[in-house]
Amino acid sequence: MAFRYPGGKKYVKSEHQKMPAASNRFANRGMSLEHDLNETNKHYNATGQAVIHKKPTPVQIVNVDYPKRSAAKITEAYFKQPSTTDYNGIYRGNYIDFEAKETKNKTSFPFGNIHPHQVDHMQQVLYHGGLSFLIIRFSILDQTYLYDASHFIWWYKKQSHRKSIPKQHIEENGHLLETKYAPRIDYLEIVDTIYLA
């Protein structure tokens, strides 16, 4: 079947649009979790559902190389202070604060992915009545879960002999998030069902 533009001109697929080789076809099938969440949050903002943003990481720039003005390059920088969680904002009058992490591990979520000050921050958000959770992607399995911070904190602080949370516990106590076109990861659907019903 030949496709034509409205004026009748025949559509010809350009070289860069042709199907990639079989070995490359699935290379970029799953976008990064951060990219998916940023796209989701743009959708929420554009549709007036929520205002949720990625927090900038506080960095102190120490040295910049200026080979020419249009090509300035930061050559040395330091974190000013430990960052808290990745995302925060407001939804239906509720403060939302969450961390997003990907792991290649198939059977558990390692504690090494989260820093102690982030755990303390999530605990403070819960204490003050905010909604706090993690969005965890098992990248090899292409599964993403919303996992309440209270579950994570319990494992992290009470199960000190462990170095990870079993994936089975996340499956049983978390909520599987479907990846769609728009929004990419509709985590507010779970927030409505679990936290705000």
| CB-CB contact of 113 with 148 (8 Å) | no
| CB-CB contact of 145 with 176 (8 Å) | yes
SS3 sequence, 81-97?
CCCCCCEEEEECCEEEE
Token pair recorded at residue 159: 């199960």
Residue 86 marked in a binding site: yes
The DSSP 8-state label assigned to residue 60 in this structure reads E
Token pair recorded at residue 141: 């399995």
Closest to 100 (Cα-Cα) out of 69, 145, 59: 145
Residue 102 marked in a binding site: no
Residue 84 marked in a binding site: yes
Residue 99 marked in a binding site: yes
| CB-CB contact of 131 with 195 (8 Å) | yes
- Residues in the annotated binding site for Mg(2+): 84, 86, 99, 118
- Residues in the annotated binding site: 84, 86, 99, 118
